[in-house]
Amino acid sequence: MPLNADQMIDKVRGSRVWRSVFRSGTGSSTLHRALAIQQNIFLHLFATKVRKRMVRFSATWYLGTLTFGTFLILVITGILLMLYYHPSVPQAYADMKDLQFVVSSGLFLRNLHRWSAQLMVFLVFAHMFKVFYRGAYRTPREFNWVIGIVLLLITLLLSYTGYLLPWDQLAFWAITVGSNLSNAVPLVGGKIHFLLLGGNQVNANALLRFYVLHCVVLPLAAILFIAIHFWRIRKDGGLYVQQSEPKPRVTAESAITAKEGQ
Amino acid sequence: MHDETHMTMKKPPTEFDRRAFFTKIGLGSLGIAAAGTMVFSYEYLSPNVLYEPSAIVNSGKPESFAVNSVTMDVNSGIYLVRTEEGYFALSAVCTHLGCLTTWNQDLGIIACPCHGSKFKRTGEKIEGPAPEPLPWLRTWVSDEGDLMVDRSTKIPPLQYLRI
């Protein structure tokens, strides 16, 4: 007897191999669905159950999720771009041009990386404003707001360090100006500037340092803080929703117009 | 009676006991190790040798500069100025955020393309966000008769080199 699609899926989910990986088992009872979340290394960061109004579009506009989506795109396209890019003074600019004009789909991947980066910065700010104006930062979510601020700084630093890598005039002067800002820090400003660039001017050392920061240090920091940020949503009682929409005030005028409408 | 002696044997709570001693030793050593790691990291991240262009620039023969001329050396980021009073070298790096300024012959001023600072040819600021005038750099004539500039040594303004 041929099996239909649902039966096939159930058969696969009931197989020994599947059960050895996903231990929640077959069936779609509430318990099974909760276990599927709870027993998954990635999904267990989230709550096993959420209220429908929490996941409605109007509650969050999905800005945090969209930000994470752009981050995933950036990680994937970034790793692919690394395969053709050498962070050295003679090669960096030529490699960037090769990615645009020689490598198959290189232009697409580079543009995707660049536009996703712009979009991520925009979405991070939009997410922040949405959280702020809804008051979702209040007790008990203050700590997750602070984690969010850390993630905002990491996002901006990722943007800034990535800016130098094409090694063109814009990159050079933007980083010259940007790194000179650190000289404004009292007492240790000059030292910070020297450590950041690995020298007194934007040069081979600076390019390599920014490359390591951009491709290793900052993404790892971002992943760590994103994990904490997601986990704290569950710990702080789920996504914030307003308990009740404010009721429209009944005035004498509105009562009359309502009557007339009848 | 027996109970009483047992009570007196018990140490008073203020006594410095072995556990507290080892906790302090442990935390102390961790603190020293952390401080050592900080120093180590700082030393490692701070390069001891830099493969940057030399701070000392050979600008060629002094006679090659006309009187009342401002000559920019783009590669080393300096202006060589010859006036009736003598020679001097001026840093071309804007004191605001490090952009390279340019000499505008028609207006007779030095201008920064980044944030609009303007300077006289003596380095004095005319307008813009630059917090300081462009610094004068140490100049001298080498044994071969070349005009030399040390970009790393600033000198007070108006110390002309007379040849």
Long-range contacts of residues A91-99, Cβ cutoff 8 Å, at least 24 apart = A92/A165, A92/A166, A92/A167, A92/A207, A93/A166, A93/A167, A93/A168, A96/A165, A96/A166, A96/A167, A96/A168
Per-residue pLDDT band at A2 (split at 50, 70, 90)? confident
User: Does residue A192 sit at the B interface (CB-CB below 8 Å)?
Assistant: no
* Inter-chain CB proximity B114 and A181 less than 8 Å: no
Residue contacts between A and B (CB atoms, under 8 Å): 32
Which positions in chain A touch B50 (Cβ < 8 Å)?
199-200, 205
Pick from A32-36, A84-88, A126-130, A240-244: least confident? A240-244
CATH code for position A102: 1.20.810.10
Nearest CA-CA partner of B139 in B159, B119, B110, B120: B159
Q: Give a yes or no: residue A182 inside a domain.
A: yes
User: Does residue B93 sit at the A interface (CB-CB below 8 Å)?
Assistant: no
Q: Can you read off the two tokens belonging to residue A99?
A: 């990615």
Residue A52: predicted pLDDT: 87
Number of domains comprising chain A = 1
Q: Give a yes or no: residue A259 inside a domain.
A: no
pLDDT tens per residue across span B131-160: 999 999 999 999 999 999 999 999 999 999
Pick from A16-30, B51-65, B71-85: least confident? A16-30
Q: Give a yes or no: residue A27 inside a domain.
A: no
This prediction's pTM: 0.85
- pLDDT greater than 70 at residue A144: yes
Q: Quick one: which H or E segment has residue B69?
A: strand B69-73
Q: Give a yes or no: residue A49 inside a domain.
A: no
Write out the residue range of the structural domain in which residue A67 sits.
Answer: 58-235
Residue B1: predicted pLDDT: 46
- pLDDT greater than 50 at residue A205: yes
pLDDT tens per residue across span B75-133: 999 999 999 999 999 999 999 999 999 999 999 999 999 999 999 999 999 999 999 99
- pLDDT greater than 90 at residue B71: yes
Residue A262: predicted pLDDT: 47
pLDDT tens per residue across span A39-57: 999 999 999 988 888 888 9
Checking ipTM against 0.85, whether it exceeds it is no
Q: Give a yes or no: residue A36 inside a domain.
A: no
Mean pLDDT of A189-203: 94
* Inter-chain CB proximity A180 and B98 less than 8 Å: yes
User: Does residue A180 sit at the B interface (CB-CB below 8 Å)?
Assistant: yes
Q: Can you read off the two tokens belonging to residue B123?
A: 């380095």
User: Does residue A200 sit at the B interface (CB-CB below 8 Å)?
Assistant: yes
* Inter-chain CB proximity A177 and B99 less than 8 Å: yes
Q: Give a yes or no: residue A180 inside a domain.
A: yes
Q: Give a yes or no: residue A201 inside a domain.
A: yes
Q: Give a yes or no: residue A260 inside a domain.
A: no
